[in-house]
Amino acid sequence: MDTTLIFESLFESGNLYQAYQVAEFEYELVLKNDFNTNGHTQWYFFSVGNTRKDVTYKFTIVNLYKRTSMYSKGLKPLLHSEKEAKTRGRGWHRAGFDISYHRNDYQYSKRSIVRNFYSLQFSLQFPHGNDICYLAHCFPYTYSDLQQYIRKLESDVDIRKIFRRKLLCRSIAGNRCEVLTITDPREVTGEEAEAQQKKQCVVLSARVHPGETNSSWMMHGCIDFLLSSHEEAKKLRQQFVFKIVPMINPDGVIIGNYRTGMAGNDLNRKWKNPCPTLQPTIHHMKEMMARMRDERGIALFVDLHGHSVKKNVFIYGCDSKYW
């Protein structure tokens, strides 16, 4: 009986490039570079089939770039088993043992300097035989997940009273970059009406770096809260107009990039002078923010990210050189 695992990543946000079987139950894995780049490999998302139960598999991802990782501090890979989800209702969960993150002997050249790659190595026992399992660095949140979520919000009659979806622009690949508006649109008169017209704007964005899927989950929670019946949410909607760009790099998310967009640029380094052709989402978001600044004033701008080595929640201030 052939015990070879069957690897696949030709699905949304997948990014496995090659898998080498080095022993019966041991594999070395190579991740795809970000599109139009020679690197940026840290996020991973792929599936394996033809699994065996009660067998210990060893996986080593050999072309990671970062010198340090949360895997050295207890982080485990994420696992999703189709059979486990169907029989027990269990979704994504952390799994694996004998986890290590270390420098290896494979090398690459950057700016004429030779550097070493890093490896993530872990062992794993799959919960079922003949199963299809998915492995990922962080809980996936795809472009399709976002579109499905927005459609669900639009289908709610009550939510539609305080929520509006609009196309900010199309990405290089023609995908929608959404801008969502959340506010209390109730009709008022007199001084209250004047205050309503002058409500300041709060701008929220996420997922400029595709591999930082936790930023999408944070944004999902923010939107849920702002649309809720919580008293604080009601007061926020009364006092502010929320402009939300939940996925500012849809192309990068779809093709499984870790850091960049379709043109190979880190969009978070293009705020100062974005090109309308190569960085359309940044360009149009800056235009929208300039318009909001002139019409209402911007009280706050928050761009949500994930971090590869820091724990918990923290804030970075803006560096003016990128503006």
For 18-53, what is each residue's pLDDT tens digit?
Answer: 999 999 999 999 999 999 999 999 999 999 999 999
Residue 36 lies in a domain: yes
Give the pLDDT score at 291: 97
pLDDT band at 112 (very low <50, low <70, confident <90, very high): confident
Q: Assign 6 to helix, strand or coil.
A: strand
Query: Which residue's entry shows tokens 């964005």?
Result: 205
What pLDDT is attached to residue 41?
95
Same domain membership, residue 160 and residue 69: no
Q: What is the pLDDT of residues 187-244, one digit of tens each?
A: 555 666 665 668 999 999 999 999 999 999 999 999 999 999 999 999 999 999 999 9
Residues 215 and 103 in one domain: no
Residue 249, domain member (yes or no) = yes
Q: Of 136, 157, 180, which residue sits at a domain end?
A: 136
User: Is residue 73 located within the same domain as residue 152?
Assistant: no
Taking only the tens place, the pLDDT of each residue in 49-91 is: 999 999 999 999 999 999 999 999 999 999 999 999 999 999 9
Q: Using alpha carbons only, what angle is made at residue 234 by residues 229 and 238, rounded to the nearest 5 degrees?
A: 155
Does the structure show a pLDDT above 90 at 185?
A: no
The predicted pLDDT at position 191 comes to: 61
Q: At what angle do helices 213-226 and 231-239 cross, to 10 degrees?
A: 90
CA 72, chain centre distance (Å): 22
CA distance 280 to 274: 7
Could you tell me which of 34, 261, 253 has the C-alpha nearest to residue 269?
261
Answer yes or no: do 112 and 199 share one domain. no
**Looking at residue 170, which CATH number applies to its domain?**
3.40.630.10
DSSP per-residue codes, 117-171: EEEEEEEEEBSSSS--EEEESS----HHHHHHHHHHHHT-TTGGGTEEEEEEEE-
Helical (H) or strand (E) element with 97 = strand 97-110
* Listed residues 85, 119, 136: the one ending a domain: 136
Residues 166 and 176: beta-carbon distance below 8 Å:
no
Number of domains within the chain: 2
Range of the domain at 255: 143-322
Does the pLDDT of residue 301 top 80, yes or no? yes
Q: How far apart are CA 148 and CA 246, in angstroms?
A: 13
For 129-153, the pLDDT digits (tens) are: 999 999 999 999 999 999 999 999 9
Residue 74 contacts by C-beta under 8 Å, 6 or more apart in sequence? none
Task: State residue 261's pLDDT score.
Answer: 97
**What are the residues whose beta carbons fall under 8 Å from the beta carbon of 103, sequence distance 6 or more?**
67, 116, 117, 118, 119
Examine the domain organization and report whether 78 and 174 are in the same domain. Answer: no
Same domain? 183 vs 256: yes
In this structure, are 162 and 294 located in the same domain? yes
Looking at residue 311, its pLDDT comes to 87
Structural domain includes residue 1:
no
